[in-house]
């Protein structure tokens, strides 16, 4: 299969044919707020990086798109309105540096997005947000970016993306940042957003004014990333301007990067001082946590059989290292064909499947149990074959009559005063 329809061009007939084949094979409906040929084609482009035969490209594009649709449903991303950067807590709290997405483009119809990275401190984010919050806020960020790109594609009829230019001047590394890279956390976030759920949306990422030392964590991250990483994330030293002006007008480049646009503004992140780090609020809750280990390559499930709808499930947990966590809906709780560990791909994801470290900031969240049936809370340690994980958990069920029950990891419940 030949590569077709580059950025800045409409989809050609071959691309449209593949898009239609993918549409016919996906097992879920696409919401009108997401259902465009360009959105489907982004998953086709991602599959083309690893596969050459059309049947393989279609197969892997369908798998990736089906997976993304599960996340969209679990996170409620198909709503009419997605928060802007102004309304996203990760920017409201100034945990991430910020630059506005411009309406200006490079010569391939890619919207320009400049940012200055010197002010970011990874430890501020790690000590301020739970892992699930960090992931959910970034999903909102990427969804907002997708809507901007979709608007550009609607205006022009041509494939678009975000051309992200990151000024690394003044950025300094520290041991916490190296741990963020070496532990695989950076690779996980990149994989989750740039490759699995929003492929070909932010591309390329031009990192300019890099220091020599950046090549060390870059090479380390590259070993953990899929095909196309070095093509997507490109490093430039201080002699970058010639590369940018090859397809960006000087008047569309900020003055700080050698262009002539003095109107492009940036907002720095603010360092969170240690006295503002997250702290345990309820000592009695922590004391009540139920602990359990998850051996390497194994998972632990808490099964809830809901016989009356209009319940609410809340949870709180801490971990000693990263685990995968999510909540899935199986269906009929009266079904006698009970599987202890069913294939999660066959279940409905009702809380997103995320890699979570609840060590510096504990996890606290919940969902509505609006349907009768079996729900599964899943903790998973299958990503590591080196060390088991220790989890401390508290579950709470609120019934429709405002009575409360404590949920134990064996699925049993007892009446209790609400702690969540």
Mean pLDDT for 192-196 is 95
Cβ atoms 209, 171 nearer than 8 A: no
162: its two tokens:
């975000």
Cβ atoms 152, 110 nearer than 8 A: no
Mean pLDDT for 208-226 is 78
Q: Which residue has the tokens 């994989």?
A: 191
- pLDDT by residue (tens digit) across 298-338? 999 999 999 888 799 999 999 999 999 999 999 875 555 56
User: What is the CA 319 to chain-centroid distance, rounded?
Assistant: 20
- pLDDT by residue (tens digit) across 259-284? 999 999 999 999 999 999 999 999 99
Q: What percent of the chain has pLDDT over 70?
A: 96
- pLDDT by residue (tens digit) across 157-176? 999 999 999 999 998 877 77
18 exposure class (CB count in 10 Å sphere: 0-12, 13-18, 19+): buried
- Across the chain, mean pLDDT equals 92
Q: How far apart are CA 293 and CA 249, in angstroms?
A: 57
Most confident of 118-122, 282-286, 382-386: 282-286
Q: How far apart are CA 328 and CA 339, in angstroms?
A: 14
Mean pLDDT for 222-240 is 82
Specify the pTM: 0.94
87: its two tokens:
């309304």
Cβ atoms 202, 164 nearer than 8 A: yes
Is residue 125 predicted with pLDDT exceeding 90? Answer: yes
Q: Give the residue, 337 or 33, on which the prediction is more confident.
A: 33
302: its two tokens:
């808490």
CA trace torsion 349, 363, 190, 225 (10° rounding): -90
Q: Which of 100-104, 152-156, 273-277, 305-309 has the lowest mean pLDDT?
A: 305-309
């Amino acid at each position: 299969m030949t590569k077709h329809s580059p950025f800045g061009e409409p989809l050609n007939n071959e691309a449209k044919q593949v898009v239609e084949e993918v549409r016919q094979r996906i097992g879920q409906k696409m919401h009108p707020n997401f259902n465009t040929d360009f959105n489907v084609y982004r998953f086709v482009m991602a599959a083309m990086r690893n596969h050459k035969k059309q049947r393989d490209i279609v197969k892997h594009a369908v798998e990736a798109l089906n997976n993304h649709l599960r996340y969209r449903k679990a996170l409620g991303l198909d709503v009419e309105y997605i928060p802007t950067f102004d309304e996203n807590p990760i920017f409201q709290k100034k945990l991430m540096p910020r630059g506005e997405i411009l309406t200006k483009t490079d010569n391939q119809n890619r919207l320009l997005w400049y940012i200055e990275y010197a002010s970011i401190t990874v430890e501020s984010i790690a000590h301020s947000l739970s892992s699930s919050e960090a992931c959910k806020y970034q999903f909102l960020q990427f969804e907002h970016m997708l809507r901007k790109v979709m608007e550009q594609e609607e205006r022009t009829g041509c494939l678009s993306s975000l051309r992200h230019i990151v000024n690394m001047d003044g950025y300094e590394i520290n041991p916490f940042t190296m741990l963020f890279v070496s532990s695989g956390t950076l690779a996980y976030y990149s994989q989750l957003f740039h490759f699995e759920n929003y492929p070909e949306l932010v591309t390329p990422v031009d990192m300019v004014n890099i220091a020599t030392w950046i090549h060390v964590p870059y090479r380390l991250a590259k070993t953990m990333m899929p095909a196309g990483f070095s093509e997507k994330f490109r490093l430039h030293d201080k002699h970058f301007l010639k590369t940018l002006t090859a397809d960006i007008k000087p008047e569309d480049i900020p003055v700080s990067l050698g262009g002539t646009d003095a109107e492009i503004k940036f907002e720095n992140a603010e360092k969170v001082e240690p006295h503002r780090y997250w702290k345990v609020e309820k000592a009695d809750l922590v004391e009540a946590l139920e602990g359990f280990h998850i051996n390497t390559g194994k998972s632990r499930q808490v099964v809830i059989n809901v016989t009356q709808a209009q319940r609410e499930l809340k949870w709180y947990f801490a971990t000693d290292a990263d685990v995968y966590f999510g909540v899935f809906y199986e269906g009929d709780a009266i079904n006698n064909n009970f599987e202890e560990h069913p294939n999660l791909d066959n279940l409905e994801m009702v809380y997103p499947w995320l890699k979570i470290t609840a060590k510096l900031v504990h996890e606290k969240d919940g969902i509505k149990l609006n349907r009768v049936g079996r729900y599964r809370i899943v903790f998973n340690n299958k990503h590591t074959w080196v060390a088991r994980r220790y989890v401390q958990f508290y579950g709470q069920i609120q019934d429709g009559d405002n009575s409360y029950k404590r949920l134990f990891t064996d699925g049993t419940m007892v009446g209790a005063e609400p702690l969540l």
